[in-house]
Structure 1
């Protein structure tokens, strides 16, 4: 019989579905239950604190995660080897959370402390010691102390390599970053051809994560790695494709549209060689966006035409709807409204046939916003309202649609400037639905610059637990909706 999922497993599933606050509330209830059963000084309570910290860490709430990990470290176990190994993990997690929060002095202090504890427990040749070395190297890179960082990374690579441990991938990625940042002539990935495919793919994943965290120093590593893999493993190897896919994504973020187009073209050629029709279609759509961003509007529109032909060949309504929607938006931006409307209406029809409610909502809102800009407000309102009924309140396009709907109802042909207000309103609805109904008298949410300002009036004095819940909901909602705000530009 398969093992039942743990509370953390369920919470993490909720997090992946975008239900951050629900996931956090589940973990908080578990923590309270463990405290009542075992007490705050128990190893069980420390483990539950670590689980909550991991959830917060994975939702980018690094300061809050650090406090959970610090609490988990508050009572070092004595005479229990297994519990002490867990304690060492909690301390390492604390250092990582502080690092990600940008609290580098504290992170270095905790990691050096963890390194001493690990040396005493494992010895200097054990992978358990190298875990902390790897994280310390990361801190030192971000502080610009490249010589010390390289020493730590080289030692970690040596330990993991000798042990045949998969964590060699992360240490090698850090070492490569240091070598390129230092400007020396050393080999960037020595021994890469001696590694099994699964370790090479882990290197790609590590470098990809680094690009998102520290793009200035990590993107050159990704560029070098992609070229190396294409040469050593071939253009159709999964690791090579992953590297070029991430290079295309980072090209969007860095503004390197030419590099982005080149990377997507490599992906497309490989997918076509392998007969991966759906992957090829997604690559073509990405290519059209990249061409438009690079200023090749005519090339972009021709690529959308090719994308529709590919979607027709696959024969799926949802794929046709996605292509038609994107093509229609591109035609609208190019000043070709008659063709844009034709494609957008066809997208709504295809989305309806697909049975995908989210896709239908997105297609309706896209057409509704187009009609609003064309000053056909009655039609626009009907479509946007219909689109909102099938989208989650926090969906980025629901937020965009809600912002424009306010302008439509006010008789305005454009609501692009109302999106930030719609985000604030969605934030308010999101929070209210997750708090006790008899607690809030009024909740005012406004946007000031790039962050949320919250004004609260309570019906009554909250209990200590309710106050904790209130603060946790606000912090989690802020973390979730900052991403929505960034997406809205």
Structure 2
């Protein structure tokens, strides 16, 4: 049978945050009724809720859950292992919330507790050391973090523990941040191919977490190591190159981005992987455009379309045509742009991918709006909105432009924040009793939501708890689904 936390995380992965939270709240209430507040079972259920809240960026509530779970289990030898786990989670939530002094104190106490409980040679001790090394790196103390992470790597190596790959990735970043000439990936030949591939995933997952300079150095070292071990066409090498391209784009380093994508594209061509090559060519065109070279971008879009056409997949043709048309419009070629965008919609209608169709229609509608053809733009945007999820990024853009069309304006870019505020308000109101709120004001400022709610009546304790939970979930939902990742 699926456990409550497994069911909740499945809902969370489906972006049904409120339902996931409600499931675990009901489970916590049932456990409390049966076993009592402060029991081991209550602490476990509270920790499950904390994990969901932490994954949903509801950090203050997660911290309270973990702290209460840890306090409930600290006095009993029978729950000492659980207590250490809850304290580790507490430190992680504090770190994520930026409360680094508190987090470091919790981690250091946890290390001492784990040393006493497990002993220095047990992997359970290294589990406490690893987040401490991570925190010290975050605080700019790479020199202090170095011996800590070396102990972690050696412990996991001796124990043949699966956590060795993330530990090696963390060590590489600490060595790079320290400015040391030491090898980033020593003794990697002792790791199995599977662990090396896991190392790639671990390095990629760390990109953007801290200082980009060490991360760039780690990526370059990783790619060189992979090419030496597996060759330039192995998927692990290609994954690392793709990560380098994406990271370069995030940092505005388009030279490194373009070089990495070209190497991936060349590999896919060598291997005859036509669809993958098409996607790489599409990424290369976008990189050229972002680098300020529209001529190279347009040439590459032409090449990408030839590749997409050869696949026989209309959704791929539509994707290329849509992006191609947008760039043509930006560089002042409205005729060819309209031709590509109309064909993008035509191709999308031949596919079964509703997102592809909605995105193509939004792009065409916005083009028509910008060309002052408002009567033509409105039905196209409306149809695109009818097939997209309301909080899909393109739907947000479409709704803002539709509002402008209705008002008789040729651009809706300035309506975007208002549209997001309206979507946030609708998200909250549809999940509460209809007579609970008299007014709900939402404003988006500095990439965060300011919410002012006025009650129409005295809420029950359960309704007030639900209101607070829905508000927290709305913040988490919109940060995750609207903010770029």
Partner of 1:66: 63
User: How much has 1:79 moved relative to structure 2?
Assistant: 5.8
Distance 2:390 2:54 in 1: 24
User: Alignment partner of 2:372: what SS?
Assistant: coil
| Deviation at residue 63 of structure 1 after TM alignment | 3.1
Q: 1:97 aligns with which of 69, 75, 93?
A: 93
Secondary structure, counterpart of 2:350 in structure 1: helix
Confirm or deny: 8 A CA contact 1:225 1:243 kept in the other structure: yes
Query: 1:420-431 alignment to 2 at 5 Å?
Result: 420-431=417-428
What is the match of residue 168 of structure 1? 164
Deviations 1:30-72 (A, max 9, x none): 2222222222212222222222222222223333322221122
Write the deviation string for residues 356-412 of structure 1: whole angstroms up to 9, x where unpaired. Answer: 222211111110000000000011011111111111111111111111111101111
* Superposition deviation, residue 116 in structure 1: 1.2
Q: Give 2:376's aligned residue.
A: 379
State the partner residue of 1:22: 19
The Cα RMSD (Å) is: 1.7
Mapping 1:132-151, distance limit 5 Å: 132-151=128-147
1:200 matched to which residue of 2?
Answer: 196
Conserved? CA contact 1:427–1:477, under 8 Å: yes
What is the match of residue 443 of structure 1? 440
CA distance in 2 between partners of 1:86 and 1:278 (Å): 48
Alpha-carbon distance in structure 2 between the residues aligned to 1:149 and 1:223: 22
Any idea what SS the aligned residue of 2:175 has? Answer: helix
CA contact (8 A) 1:285 1:307 kept: yes
- 1:12 is matched with 9
Question: In the alignment, does 2:299 pair up with 1:299?
Answer: no
Q: Return the offset for 1:347.
A: 1.0
Cα 1:212–1:19 shift into 2, 3 Å: farther
2:2 partner SS: coil
Tell me the distance in 2 between the aligned counterparts of 1:220 and 1:468: 47
CA–CA separation in structure 2 for the residues paired with 1:221 and 1:7: 39
State the aligned residue count: 484
The equivalences for 1:59-458 within 5 A come to 59-76=56-73, 81=78, 83-216=79-212, 217-458=214-455
Cα-to-partner distance string for 1:81-138 (whole Å, 9 max, x where unaligned)? 5x43232211111111111221111111111111111111110011100011111001
Q: Greater shift after overlay, 269-278 or 251-260?
A: 269-278
Of residues 29-38 and 283-292 in structure 1, the stretch that sits farther from structure 2 once superposed is 29-38
Question: CA separation of 1:184/1:215 partners in 2, compared to 1, >3 Å: closer, same or farther?
Answer: closer
What is the deviation of 1:143? 1.5
Aligned equivalents of 1:62 and 1:275: distance in 2? 47
User: Which deviates more from structure 2 when the two are superposed, residues 238-247 or residues 397-406?
Assistant: 238-247
Using the TM superposition, give the Cα deviation of residue 321 of structure 1 relative to its aligned residue in structure 2, in angstroms: 1.3
Greater displacement, 283-292 / 219-228: 219-228
Mark the CA change 1:79 to 1:99 in structure 2 (over 3 Å): closer, same or farther: closer
Shift of 1:457: 1.6
For residues 348 and 215 of structure 1, the distance between their equivalents in structure 2, rounded to whole angstroms, comes to 42
Q: Distance in 2 between matches of 1:105 and 1:363?
A: 49
Helix, strand or coil: the match of 2:387? Answer: coil
SS state at 2:57 partner: coil
Give distance in 1, aligned partners of 2:249 and 2:65: 35
Q: CA deviation at 1:182?
A: 1.5
Q: Distance in 2 between matches of 1:334 and 1:20?
A: 42
Instruction: Tell me, yes or no, if structure 1 residue 34 matches structure 2 residue 31.
Output: yes
Q: Distance in 1 between matches of 2:208 and 2:66?
A: 24
Contact 2:285 2:296 in 1 (8 A): yes
SS in structure 1 opposite 2:440?
strand
CA distance in 2, matches of 1:139, 1:71: 23
CA distances 1:131-181 after superposition (whole Å, capped 9, x unpaired): 111110011111222222011100011100111111111221121112111
Paired with 1:341 and 1:480, the residues of 2 have a C-alpha distance of 35
Residue 80 of structure 1 and its aligned partner are, at CA, apart by 6.0
Structure 2 counterpart SS, 1:407: helix
The answer to whether the 8 Å contact 1:43/1:77 transfers is no
